């Protein structure tokens, strides 16, 4: 059995090295593994059930997530939480929604930027997106987790690098019919929805739309500054649903 496991793992690693977007798939794998092993998945018996599980989830999110009030006034270790929070998700829907967007838009973006640059871009923009949200809500005691800020940055960069790429969108008001639009239509529309939702968001727990917008702006700005007029736009096909789940 151990031999079979080693063979399977070896094949997986070789496939990962040979793909054009190894870091995108590695990030997806790490986020999924952390979620499955954590209390939010409900799959680890050691966290208990019922109220015991709920308490473990709250403690887990508070330890690894961003708590704005503690980020600026707490111990030095809190400065790391905008990075650790990128790999923690609050529910199955939250995880799968974020990973779907990363899978669809991350591969082409990584291939254009390169593995190392994409990794630093993803973590750096994600960190700054969560930091921006925390700065705007400095008194909040609510834990913030999720990769949405980093993935929003990928969307922003994708918009600049591949504006003509065809993206499949599922529109609720058209009975979720899959329709294909260029990225320059779909992604600005998505950003506009985040902006509108931000103005209607009540105080308290919920979707961190501000982190989405900060990440999107950072990603687009980074691609614009780094590539400028040297970027050669190409048309590509990329299926994706419209909208995004909360961080």
Q: Is residue 179 within a helix (H) or strand (E), and if so which, with residue range? A: strand 177-182
Residue 140 is among the residues annotated as catalytic for this protein: no
Q: Catalytic pick from 94, 140, 152, 212?
A: 212
Task: Quickly count: other Cβ atoms within 10 Å of residue 139's Cβ.
Answer: 8
Residue 148 is among the residues annotated as catalytic for this protein: yes
Q: Measuring CA to CA, how many Å separate 227 from each of 46, 96, 174, 194, 224?
A: 49, 31, 37, 26, 6
Nearest to 213 by CA among 199, 227, 231: 199
Nearest to 112 by CA among 186, 162, 181: 162
Q: Is residue 171 within a helix (H) or strand (E), and if so which, with residue range? A: strand 166-171
Q: Catalytic pick from 148, 152, 164, 169?
A: 148
Distance of alpha carbon 109 from alpha carbon 112, whole angstroms: 5
The residues carrying an active-site annotation are 148, 212
């Amino acid at each position: 059995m151990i031999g079979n496991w080693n063979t399977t793992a070896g094949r997986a690693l070789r496939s990962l090295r040979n793909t054009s977007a190894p870091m995108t798939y590695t990030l997806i794998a790490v986020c999924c593994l952390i979620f499955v092993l954590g209390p939010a998945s409900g799959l680890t018996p050691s966290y208990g059930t019922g109220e015991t599980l709920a308490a473990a989830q709250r403690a887990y999110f508070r330890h690894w997530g961003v708590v704005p009030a503690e980020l600026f006034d707490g111990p030095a270790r809190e400065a790391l939480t905008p990075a650790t929070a990128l790999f923690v998700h609050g529910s199955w829907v939250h995880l799968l929604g974020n990973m779907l967007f990363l899978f669809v838009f991350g591969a082409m973006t990584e291939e254009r930027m390169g593995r190392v640059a994409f990794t630093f871009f993803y973590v750096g923009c994600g960190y700054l997106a969560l930091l921006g949200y925390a700065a705007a809500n400095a008194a909040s005691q609510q834990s913030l987790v999720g990769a949405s800020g980093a993935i929003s940055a990928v969307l922003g960069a994708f918009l600049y690098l591949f504006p003509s790429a065809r993206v499949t969108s599922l529109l609720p008001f058209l009975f979720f019919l899959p329709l294909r639009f260029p990225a320059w239509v779909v992604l600005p529309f998505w950003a506009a929805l985040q902006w509108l939702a931000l103005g209607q968001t009540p105080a308290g727990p919920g979707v961190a739309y501000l982190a989405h917008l900060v990440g999107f702006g950072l990603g687009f700005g980074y691609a614009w500054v780094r590539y400028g007029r040297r970027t050669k736009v190409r048309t590509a096909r990329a299926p994706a649903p419209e909208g995004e789940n909360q961080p």
